[in-house]
């Protein structure tokens, strides 16, 4: 018999590193999240998998300033890149 516990609390929100162990892919759930969710080894959990893009992003304001600087100082940047 399988017991399903309905959970309404949100789970792990940040990116987790995918690893391989004993020929299988695994993702670690932090201890704090296990306690917060009230789950334990052997419980069935729901997992959504999608690739994470964690590259730094400029704010729209900084992106605009960078674009303006690249346009206004293109010759200087080309000169510096050639060094």
Tokens encoding 6: 């309905």
Asked if residue 2 has pLDDT above 70, the reply is no
- Range ranked top by mean pLDDT from 1-5, 10-14, 27-31, 69-73: 69-73
Mean pLDDT, rounded, for 7-27 = 80
Are residues 4 and 44 in contact, defined by beta-carbon separation less than 8 angstroms? yes
Determine which helix (DSSP H) or strand (DSSP E) holds 62, and give its type and residue range: helix 60-72
> Given this model, what pLDDT does residue 12 score?
66
* Residues whose CB falls within 8 Å of the CB of residue 27, separated by 6 or more in sequence, listed in order: 16, 17, 18, 19, 47
pLDDT digits (tens, 9 = 90+) for 18-73: 999 999 999 988 899 999 999 999 999 988 888 888 788 889 999 999 999 999 99
């Amino acid at each position: 018999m399988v017991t399903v516990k309905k959970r309404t609390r949100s789970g792990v929100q940040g990116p987790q590193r995918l690893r391989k162990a004993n020929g299988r892919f695994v993702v670690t759930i932090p201890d704090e999240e296990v306690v917060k969710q009230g789950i334990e080894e052997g419980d069935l959990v729901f997992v959504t998998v999608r690739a994470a893009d964690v590259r730094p992003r400029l704010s729209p304001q900084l992106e605009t300033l960078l674009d303006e600087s690249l346009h206004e100082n293109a010759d200087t940047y080309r000169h510096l890149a050639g060094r």
